[in-house]
Copies of this chain bind each other. A is one copy, B any other.
């Protein structure tokens, strides 16, 4: 079978491709385990240098997800699964509404329509976000039964994405699942336009010996998950029997709910003798407003019942990053 990963040149997309390469198989549209003979990582640009841990089965294709014909070409065989991760992020969506609509709404529809056109009812795993939640009436703990009143265009398009995945699944056009992600850490490389970007930066920059300027205070609370756990969550959600998901195919993935202060303390615990870049706070009102509009905790009983994984401790997430990206 073939696996299409949109946003496949991104950090999570690349990690997912690597894990799928290791595993070598998934449940295909037939409902039976099938060998993965092709992984297509679709993204805006092809990466400069190949990702570690991939082999000849993986191909990178560059293109615009907002172009239906481009997306449709990726869906060229019935024995196919999709992990749809491509997205304009939260801060980016606030800066460019129309871009967010083209990528996150039109692009999402192109993926769903292309999957539907196969006729094989393929499995589609969509990356949603806790940014679907917001508003003054939002409970402190959000979950699968919480009314969605997003306060960013990003969150709005993700909420719409969940509704579309549900209805395309209900109609039997595809077998969809939406993974509602907390903030995923620790992303290597450079900061991005996500308002949550600092939640990776607070670990990454100091560990690289460079200073980190936080746009929010130490008391800001964020539901976090490590990337290893999220990649595993995507794959397990793909493998869950569709019938077990029922009418609402969107599942809040488990999170650790920690303050920025907890993050800094965790970093210092794990770093040991490493020299750490200085951490300072320079509050950014735009980022503060976005982060304050997000929930501070998640309910995820359903995810655990479905067998999805949960991080055990913040320290393990930091250790995994050091192992994967800083040579242990």
Contacts and interface: CB of A to CB of B under 8 A. Distances in A.
A180 to B, nearest CB: 13
Contacts of A97: 171
Contact of A163 (B144, B150, B167, B170): B150
A227 to B, nearest CB: 28
A137 B248 contact: yes
A247 B166 CA distance: 25
Interface residues of A, number: 26
Contacts of A151: 170, 247
A136 B144 CA distance: 13
Interface stretch (A5-13, A19-27, A153-161, A207-215): A153-161
A147 B150 contact: no
A166 B248 CA distance: 22
Contacts of A137: 145, 248
Contacts of A233: none
A146 interface: yes
B145 A167 contact: no
Nearest to A160: B160
Interface string A61-75: 000000000000000
A298 to B, nearest CB: 15
A167 B150 contact: yes
A164 B149 CA distance: 11
A246 interface: yes
Contacts of A171: 97, 153
A97 B168 CA distance: 10
A148 interface: yes
Given A97-B171, A156-B166, A246-B136, A146 B149 contact: no
Nearest to A171: B97
A135 interface: yes
B170 A164 contact: no
A131 to B, nearest CB: 12
A14 interface: no
A28 interface: no
Contact of A149 (B136, B159, B160, B248): B248
Interface in A159-192: 159-160, 163-164, 166-167, 170-171
Interface string A218-258: 00000000000000000000000000001110000000000
A318 to B, nearest CB: 35
A297 interface: no
A163 B166 contact: no
A134 interface: yes
Given A136-B246, A248-B137, A149 B167 contact: no
Given A145-B147, A163-B163, 4 more contacts: A135-B248, A151-B247, A156-B167, A160-B163
